[in-house]
Amino acid sequence: MLTNAPRGTKDILPDAVGAWTHVEHVIRDLCARYGYGEIRTPMFEHTELFQRGIGDGTDVVDKEMYTFSDRGDRSLTLRPENTASAVRAYLQNKLYADGGLQKLFYIGSMFRYDRPQAGRMREFHQFGVEALGEESPALDAEVILLAYDFLTALGLTGLTLKLNSVGCPACRPVYRERLQAYFKEHLPTLCDDCKDRYTRSPLRILDCKRDAEQPFMAGAPAITDCLCPVCTEHFEQVQQHLTAAGVSYELDPRLVRGLDYYTRTAFEIAYPPLGAQSAVAGGGRYDGLVEELGGNPTPAVGFAAGLERVLLALEQQNLLPAQPPAADVFLIALGDAAAKAAFPLLHELRCGGVRALMDYAGRSMKAQMKQANRSGARYAIILGEDELAAHTAVVRDMAESAQETCALDHLVEKMISEVKV
What is the arithmetic mean of pLDDT over 248-263?
81
**Bigger pLDDT: 191 vs 140:** 140
pLDDT of residue 358 exceeding 90, the answer is yes
**Res 139: pLDDT:** 98
What is the arithmetic mean of pLDDT over 26-49?
97
What is the arithmetic mean of pLDDT over 187-204?
82
Write down the architecture of domain 329-416 according to CATH. 3-Layer(aba) Sandwich (3.40)
- The Cα diameter of the chain in Å comes to 95
What is the arithmetic mean of pLDDT over 376-381?
96
CA distances from 51 to 68, 114, 126, 260, 306 (A): 14, 18, 20, 10, 22
**Res 257: pLDDT:** 65
What is the arithmetic mean of pLDDT over 228-239?
96
18-22, 91-95, 108-112, 253-257: range with lowest mean pLDDT: 253-257
Q: Which CATH number fits domain 14-171+227-316: 3.30.70.20, 3.20.20.70, 3.30.390.10, 3.30.930.10?
A: 3.30.930.10
pLDDT of residue 421 exceeding 80, the answer is no
For residue 131, give the DSSP letter. Answer: E
The overall average pLDDT reported for the chain is 92
| Cβ proximity of 147 and 310 under 8 Å | no
pLDDT of residue 271 exceeding 90, the answer is yes
pLDDT of residue 284 exceeding 60, the answer is yes
- 58 — pLDDT class (breaks 50, 70, 90): confident
Domain boundaries of the chain, sorted by first residue: 14-171+227-316, 329-416
- 391 — pLDDT class (breaks 50, 70, 90): very high
